[in-house]
Amino acid sequence: MPQQSPLDVPEGDPFGPHNLPYGVFSTAAEGRRRIGVRIGGHALDAGAAAAALGSPYAGLLGQASLNPLLAAGRTAWRDVRRALTAWVTDPGHRPTVEPHLLPLDEVTLHLPYEVADYVDFYASEHHATNVGKMFRPNGDALTPNWKHLPIGYHGRSGTLVVSGTDVVRPSGQRKAPGDPAPVFGPSVKLDIEAEVGFVVGAPSELGTPVPLGAFEDHVFGLFLLNDWSARDIQAWEYVPLGPFLGKSFATSVSAWVTPLEALDAARVAPPARDFPLLPYLDDAALDRPGGFDLRITVSINGQEVAQPPFATMYWTAAQQLAHMTVNGASLRTGDVFGSGTVSGPEVGQRGSLLELTWNGRDAIELTDGKRTFLEDGDTVTLTAWAPGPDGTRVGLGEVVGRIVGSR
């Protein structure tokens, strides 16, 4: 019986030829980094396959980072994707392509792009409302500006790490409301934030805003993101300028970037808005909706604790990009922006332990004990899928991080 080809991906595999996310990998035998495209349980050495096929895209794909492909722009993204799809589906290409497929357990995955700037938003109404109720119990849950603009902050791009990287428990100042003075030490309220990240490809000119309709001209793809948060450090430092050391110690991202084109079937309208939007944020006239139906699962030590639905996000990625540049701020290839914590209306849809435990009041039960916040040795895993063409599912690359003790 002939051996099955790695290109014969089983029906229902969320990483079939309808997906084809991009990453960067190396092997133990050869340490150099190269662009890979995931197909089933294998990574295709895209540059080597392109060269073997005499493809005009061999230069873009034969790189150690996705940045040259990102910078090439939307037409190139579309054309390269069409070529890759043909390579993995046309039987005539199999003899040339198959030698360049490597099992995923034989490769090491790396951060697939060089990060330029990093911005994180606060776009879930359910998350923002929960946090407001916790910390402003006698006031309005949402701040007056929340439904008029996507709130965000600049993070530390140098601390974005690829999935699988250990996360060292951060130390810093913290002060409980009843304490007479702050103390210094390891965070005791280490948390997660289940998010979706977007990576910019084509840059923009300084002084020129990027309108809503140009989102797909500049954003290459999306991926899962875990915005680790030291809640006790954050609570003491954030007034009046916002998050700083409570966020900047690590942000974990998937090793695989899903191109926007793979998610056409997952487009959905955002929730109905009860506030009029200023023209630069008003997406009512766009030719297709700006939301994405992504089904996220959060697990701690292998046990599912939440299923945050990305379709509930109040602000879309296109609106975030438009707001981020409306003052003339330029985009650079490799810019990353995060959606903010994804939370839904139900308790089991909350994307942070802050919400799941209501700031430590209500412990969650795991098979290895109760948790309010993360303990050393805990491993957090984010996974997700989206509806794909013809009833398929589009898998997003997982994000895994293990907490290790402070140094």
pLDDT digit string (tens) for 299-334? Answer: 999 999 999 999 999 999 999 999 999 999 999 999
pTM, rounded to two decimals: 0.97
Structure-block tokens of residue 55: 């493809």
The pLDDT tens digits for 239-265 are: 999 999 999 999 999 999 999 999 999
CA dihedral 109, 393, 259, 123 (to 10 degrees): -100
Which among 235, 274, 251, 214 has a CA at the least distance from the CA of 360? 235
Selecting among 127, 154, 218, 323, the annotated active-site residue is 127
pLDDT above 90: residue 275: no
User: In the predicted model, what is the mean pLDDT of residues 86-103?
Assistant: 97
| pLDDT for 68 | 98
**pLDDT band at residue 2 using 50, 70 and 90 as cut-offs:** low
Q: Is 14 helix (H, G, I), strand (E, B) or coil?
A: coil
pLDDT above 90: residue 185: yes
Mean predicted lDDT score pLDDT of the chain: 96
Number of Cβ within a 10 Å radius of residue 194:
28
Q: Tell me how far apart the alpha carbons of residues 332 and 358 are, in angstroms, rounded to a whole number.
A: 38
Q: What are phi and psi of 36, to 5 degrees?
A: -120, 150
Answer whether 18's CB lies under 8 Å from 388's CB: yes
Which among 272, 330, 313, 372 has a CA at the least distance from the CA of 150? 313
The amino acid at residue 283 is D
Answer whether 263's CB lies under 8 Å from 386's CB: yes
**Percentage, residues of the chain above pLDDT 70:** 99
| Helical segments of 270-356, H only | 317-325, 353-356
pLDDT above 80: residue 213: yes
The amino acid at residue 212 is L
| Strand ranges in 228-352 using DSSP code E only, listed in sequence order | 229-230, 251-253, 258-259, 267-268, 291-292, 295-300, 303-306, 336-338
Our answer to whether residue 127 is catalytic in this structure is yes
Answer whether 39's CB lies under 8 Å from 17's CB: yes
User: In the predicted model, what is the mean pLDDT of residues 1-14?
Assistant: 84
| pLDDT for 274 | 87
